[in-house]
Structure 1
Amino acid sequence: MTIRTRRTAAIAAVGLLPLLAACTGDDAPGEQQNTPVPAESGEAELSGTVTLVTHDSFALSDGMLASFEDETGLTVEHVAAGDAGTLVNQLVLTADSPLGDVVYGVDNTFASRAVAADVFEPYQPEGLDDSVTDLVGAGLEGLTPIDKGDVCLNVDTAWFEDQGVEPPSTFEDLTDPRYADLTVVTNPATSSPGFAMLLATVDAFGEDGWEQYWADLSANGLKVTDGWSDAYYSDFSGAGEGGERPVVLSYATSPAFTVTEDGSESTTAALLDTCFRQVEYAGVLAGTDNPDRARALVDFLSSPEVQADIPANMYMYPADSTVELPAEWEQFAPLAEEPFDVAPGEIDAHRDEWIEQWTATVVG
Structure 2
Amino acid sequence: MRRRTYLKTAGAATIAGLAGCAATPTGNGTDRPPRATIDGTPSGTLTVATYSSFTGEGTAGNYLKQAFEDEYPNVTVEFTVPANGVNQYIQRKRSGASIDADLYVGINTDDLVRADAELDDSLFMHSQDYLDRKDALKPALEIDPQGRAVPYDTGYISLVYDESAIDAPATFDDLLDPTYEDSLITQNAQQSDPGKAFLLWTIDAKGEDGYLDYWADLLDNGVQILDDWQPAYNAYMNEEAPMVVSYSTDQVFYGADADLTRHQIGFIEDQGYANPETMARFEATDQPALARLFMDFILQPEVQGQVAERNVQFPAVTDAQLDETFAELAHEPPEAVTFDYDELQGNVEEWTDEWARQVASK
TM range (shorter): 0.7 to 0.9
1:206 matched residue in structure 2:
207
What do the CA deviations read for 1:301-334 (whole angstroms, capped 9, x no partner)?
A: 2222321111221111110132133323333321
Contact 1:146/1:319 (CA < 8 Å) preserved in 2? Answer: yes
Structure 2 residue 334 is the aligned partner of structure 1 residue 333: no
**Is this contact kept in 2: 1:255–1:268, CA < 8 A?**
yes
Any conservation in 1 of the 2:108–2:275 contact (CA below 8 Å)? Answer: yes
> One-letter code of the match for 2:115?
A
> 1: distance between equivalents of 2:230 and 2:176?
24
- What amino acid maps onto 1:341 in structure 2? T
| Inter-partner Cα distance in structure 1 for 2:89 and 2:329 | 36
One-letter amino acid of the structure 2 residue matched with residue 221 of structure 1: G
1:77-125 deviations in Å (ceiling 9; x for gaps) = 111224xxx2110121123421211111011232222345311011121
Deviates more, 1:223-232 or 1:251-260: 251-260
- Are residues 1:136 and 2:133 paired? no
Structure 2 residue identity aligned to 1:123: S
In the other structure, the counterpart of 1:270 is 265
Mapped contact 1:258–1:266 kept (Cα < 8 A): no
Partner of 2:68: 68
Unpaired runs of at least 5, structure 1: 1-25, 161-165
- For the pair 1:343 / 2:344, whether they are aligned, the reply is no
Residues 158 and 321 of structure 1: is their aligned pair in 2 closer, same or farther, counting only changes over 3 Å? farther
Q: Secondary structure at the match of 2:345?
A: helix
TM-superposed deviation, 1:136 = 1.5
Displacement of 1:184 after TM fit? Answer: 0.8
Kept in 1, the 8 Å contact 2:99–2:284? The answer is yes
**Which position in structure 1 is the counterpart of 2:239?**
243
One-letter amino acid matched to 2:263:
T
Name the CA distance, whole Å, in 2 between partners of 1:226 and 1:49. 36
CA distance in 2 between counterparts of 1:56 and 1:37 reads: 30
Corresponding residue of 2:50: 54
Asked if structure 2 preserves the Cα contact closer than 8 Å seen for 1:146 and 1:318, the reply is yes
Asked whether the equivalents of residues 137 and 343 of structure 1 are also in contact (C-alpha less than 8 Å), the reply is: yes
Equivalent-residue separation in structure 2 for 1:262 and 1:357 (angstroms): 41
1:175-229: per-residue Cα shift (whole Å, max 9, x none)? 0011101111101011111111111111111112111111111110111100111
**Which one-letter code corresponds to 1:81 in the other structure?**
P
Give ranges in structure 2 of 5+ residues lacking alignment: 1-25
- Tell me the CA shift for residue 57 of structure 1: 2.0
Distance 1:103 1:260 in 2: 33
1:1-364 equivalent positions in 2, closer than 5 A:
28=28, 35=35, 37=37, 41-43=39-41, 46-58=42-54, 59-60=59-60, 64-72=64-72, 73-82=74-83, 86-95=84-93, 96=96, 97-116=98-117, 117=119, 118-124=122-128, 125-160=131-166, 166-233=167-234, 235-236=235-236, 239=237, 242-258=238-254, 261=257, 266-273=261-268, 274-362=271-359, 363-364=361-362
TM-score normalized by structure 1?
0.80
Distance 1:81 1:339 in 2: 31
Q: Are the aligned partners of 1:34 and 1:126 in contact in 2 as well (CA < 8 Å)?
A: no
Which runs of structure 1 show a deviation greater than 6 angstroms over 4 or more consecutive aligned residues?
Answer: none
Give how far 1:270 is off.
Answer: 1.9
Q: Is the 8 A contact 2:48 2:103 kept in 1?
A: yes
Q: 2:242 & 2:340 partners in 1: Cα distance?
A: 31
Cα distance change of structure 1 residues 256 and 75 upon mapping to structure 2, 3 Å threshold: closer
SS in 2 for 1:352: helix
Matched position secondary structure for 2:138: helix
Query: Structure 2 CA distance, aligned partners of 1:295 and 1:320?
Result: 17
Give 1:27 shift: 5.3
Identity %: 30
**In 2, Cα distance between the equivalents of 1:37 and 1:343?**
32
Q: Distance in 2 between matches of 1:66 and 1:343?
A: 34
Question: What SS class does the counterpart of residue 190 from structure 2 fall into?
Answer: coil
Q: What is the alpha-carbon distance in structure 2 between the residues aligned to residue 353 and residue 137 of structure 1?
A: 20
